Amino acid sequence: MRRINLAVDVMGGDKGPVTTIEGIYKASKVFPKVHFRLFGDKQKVVDELNKFKSFKNFELFHTDEVVKSEDGPVDALRKLKKSSLRLAINDVNEKKSDGLVSAGNTGALMAISKFVLKTIPGINRPAIAGLMPTMRGENIILDLGANIECTHENLIQFAIMGEVFSKLVLAKKKPKVAVLNVGSEEIKGNSIVRKTFEELEKNVKDIDFHGFIEGNDINKGEVDVVVTDGFSGNIALKTAEGVADLILNFLKNAYESSIIAKLGYLLSKPALNRFKARIDPRKYNGAILLGLNGIVVKSHGGTDAFGFSNAISVAVGLIENNYNDEIRSILTKHSKFN
């Protein structure tokens, strides 16, 4: 593994440096050749760094400006030009870092990243992509909220970006790509998804296009890439998270319902621990802003250090596999995107 410089907005997230610094420390044990460029309030960051005396592979860049969760994207872009988030993004744009990770304000992260880094030629809009557990491993779904309304050209670009991600990061040799719809038949859905189907079927020959799938098929693992607009994608993601919480809540209540049930819990505890680990959202933390001229990964603001370290792992994987170079190479094969 080559040396990687990774910018981190350490002020982002619900707990800021308390979570991000510990997450960085955990990631540094896995990726010893990653050099971390930390952006944040020096006093607050140093207090946390002092808890991990053995961690030396970093540089700290002070700023006392922070983008808060309630700040609008436009205000963050125009008024907070020295925020930890903005400086981290600038660092990528100036080629001092190979990518960045932030647990901060999603709208601000998207707005500033798009303004500073711009999109890859041939990509009209960046998309937020995320990993989801399935019966056969995991797949990628995009968009998860960046683009509420999309054209069929946007969805085709999402398909291409998701397919390349699946190959490079998930090691899928020939990823199956599908478009999320209200039915699997070709005649179902609105004009945009039907046009997307037609184009992917006829004109994008190097993608293994599976057709339409419905929401209940996402977690079956029959496809590796699920393409949709940000409105439907965000609803699908939040619904899946809610169902996971519901199942865990039902299990907890069932095992607490009687003495026999509690004994049953003790007997089945190893299997239950494996089950909880399998659907642990922290393992899938790290949404990717695909389509930008730079690697940008968004961690969930409420995650813990383990979850944040997984977001770093996603960023490192994209950088190691030269994701953006592969996207550019693929797009040159499709004249309509040039």
pLDDT digits (tens, 9 = 90+) for 260-301: 988 988 888 888 888 878 878 788 888 899 999 999 999 988
CA distance 268 to 255: 10
Q: Which two tokens stand for residue 218?
A: 């996402």
- Mean pLDDT, residues 68-89: 91
CA 325 to chain centre: 19
**pLDDT computed for residue 338 by the predictor:** 47
pTM: 0.86
Looking at this protein, which amino acid is placed at residue 30? Answer: V
Going by the DSSP 8-state scheme, the letter that residue 119 receives in this structure is: B
Domains identified in the chain and CATH numbers: 1-120+292-318 (3.40.718.10), 124-290 (3.40.718.10)
Looking at this protein, which amino acid is placed at residue 256? Answer: E
Is pLDDT of 337 > 80? no
**Tens of pLDDT, residues 120-161:** 888 888 999 988 888 888 899 999 988 889 999 999 999 999
**pLDDT computed for residue 327 by the predictor:** 82
The continuous run of DSSP H or E covering 311 comes out as: helix 305-320
95: pLDDT confidence band, cut at 50, 70 and 90?
A: very high
Number of Cβ within 10 Å of residue 183's Cβ equals 11
Among 78, 158, 96, residue whose Cα is nearest residue 294: 96
Radius of gyration of the CA atoms of the chain, in A: 21
Compute CA distances 70 → 66, 115, 331, whole Å. 11, 20, 37
CA distance 88 to 99: 9
Is pLDDT of 226 > 60? yes
Q: Which two tokens stand for residue 314?
A: 């996603």
1: pLDDT confidence band, cut at 50, 70 and 90?
A: low
293 neighbors 118 (Cβ within 8 angstroms)? yes
**pLDDT computed for residue 321 by the predictor:** 85
pLDDT > 70: percent of the chain: 98
36 neighbors 60 (Cβ within 8 angstroms)? no
Q: Which two tokens stand for residue 129?
A: 């992509």
